[in-house]
Amino acid sequence: MSNPNNHPGKTMLTLLRPEVLLACALGGAAFSRVHAAVEITRFSRQPVAVEIAWTSEPGKAYSLLSAPTIAGPWAERITLAATHASLGWTNAEPADQPQRFYRVLEHAPAAVGAELLAAANLPQLLGSTALETANLGVQGVFLASILGAGGAQLVTTGTLTQQGANWDYTPTPPDRLFVQFQTGSNLTYHVTRMEGDFSRDAAKFLENPHAFNYRVIVPNLGDLSFENAIPPGTCDFLVTARGGLTLSNVTYDLDVRLSGTYCIDNSFGYQLINDYTTTGTVNAPGYALTLNQRWRHELIGGGGGGASAVQEWNNSTLTLGADTYQWDNTKKQKSFRDGSPSSLDTYWLASGNVLRNGTVYGTYRLQPEPLLARLKFVLDLPTGTIELESWSI
């Protein structure tokens, strides 16, 4: 697969990066509850910090405010989007902090907008994650095989440790491949199947017919099992992803399938067609996303230049609490020449609606901003406009 998040070709492990929701620390204060729908379930005052937790409703946002007196002035400290039945906040406060009052305000539209944006972008993030974890895993096995066996046999276990621009290898542990980056982060791979072309590099292994099944663990973030396959003699590919992903202190259960074609033709210049559909489910308490999204990328290159076109259709369904949101065949379409947007007046478009409980709730729209030299895909909601993506022109 090509990377759907960056153009052209750059990949990032976006989905597996931590989201920092709570500040680290401890605080002191008095609390004032002003919203009847919110129940404070925890208030802890420590010498140098304050910790507050409250009930929440998935699909809504909550702002925590503080003031030196109950009469104000009130200042917003943080706004959090709820995806389950509780939220919390911990923040450092000086030991000599004067008395403070706190209250929680509920904002439904902001959270719904954030959830719709995240759900719309999730299939591309999953595609990017599948690509990047597969690429890192194959590179790790290739490197371990060279350092551990001189390239004479496949090595899928042991430890790779980054030392500046170089890597060290040790043969333990014997049941998994542990990759330690010099930044302090690490990945653990359990490779259960690896078949394909080992004559060149990781990129060619993944482009050519192969089977690569693995489990990847990112501490405190994700534990996902992937199965990647391109059968011999075809351009078809299939990727499945199952497991748990923890974001903003919420664990999501994933059971997702990406299937389609990945065809490269070098007969005349370079031509790529990457056309796949993402289906499956992502679930958490109060949150249920059923994916049904198609993404198509065509790229033609040669003579030092290239042109590409990207199309995306979405028919996914998101349930937040008691409300169901349905993407009703929404579409985004864009084109590029030599990496820059092209054919703005004739090819770029956005169309389709998002329904809430069967009634139109939002509309996709292309929004040119000539003064800012930008072109945006947006979702218009009754409460405002959400930017889905933006491009410099």
The CATH number covering residue 52 comes to: 2.60.40
**Could you tell me if residue 168 is inside a domain?**
no
Give the C-alpha distances (Å, rounded to integers) separating 323 from 118, 166, 355: 16, 52, 10
Determine contact, residues 351/383, Cβ cutoff 8 Å. Answer: no
Residue 79 lies in a domain: yes
> Which secondary structure element, helix H or strand E, spans residue 165, and what is its range?
none
258 burial via Cβ count (<10 Å: 0-12, 13-18, 19+): buried
Residue 341 lies in a domain: yes
Can you tell me the mean pLDDT for 20-39?
30
**Of 9 and 364, the one with more pLDDT:** 364
Tell me the average pLDDT of the chain. 81
What are 306-352's pLDDT values in tens digits? 899 999 999 999 998 888 999 999 999 999 998 889 999 999 999 99
- pLDDT given at position 109: 52
Query: Is the pLDDT higher at 393 or at 350?
Result: 350
Question: Among the three residues 71, 106, 141, which one is the final residue of a domain in this structure?
Answer: 106
Question: In this structure, is residue 10 part of a structural domain?
Answer: no
Q: What is the pLDDT of residues 233-264, one digit of tens each?
A: 999 999 999 999 887 677 889 999 999 998 88
Residue 364 lies in a domain: yes
Determine the length of the chain.
393
Any domain includes 148: no
pLDDT score, position 81: 65
Which of the listed residues 71, 88, 106 is the one where a domain comes to its end? 106
pLDDT above 50 (res 35): no
Considering the domain boundaries, does residue 14 fall inside one?
no
CB 236 within 8 A of CB 142: no
Number of structural domains in the chain: 2
- CA quadruple 164, 168, 172, 178: dihedral, nearest 10: 40
Summarised one tens digit per residue, pLDDT across range 92-126 is 666 566 777 788 877 545 568 878 888 888 888 78
> In this predicted structure, what is the pLDDT of residue 287?
87
Which of 106, 129, 150 delimits the end of a domain?
A: 106
Task: Note whether residue 346 is domain-resident.
Answer: yes
Is the predicted pLDDT of residue 12 greater than 80, yes or no? no
Q: Which of 17-21, 174-178, 293-297, 389-393 has the lowest mean pLDDT?
A: 17-21
Query: Which pLDDT score, from 0 to 100, does residue 298 have?
Result: 94
The pLDDT score that the predictor gives to residue 265 is 86
Contact present, 131 and 11 (Cβ < 8 Å): yes
Domain extent at residue 338: 322-393
The pLDDT value recorded for residue 170 is: 97
pLDDT at residue 114 in the model:
79
Residue 294 CA to residue 291 CA, distance in Å, equals 10
Mean pLDDT for 5-12 is 27
pTM value is 0.70
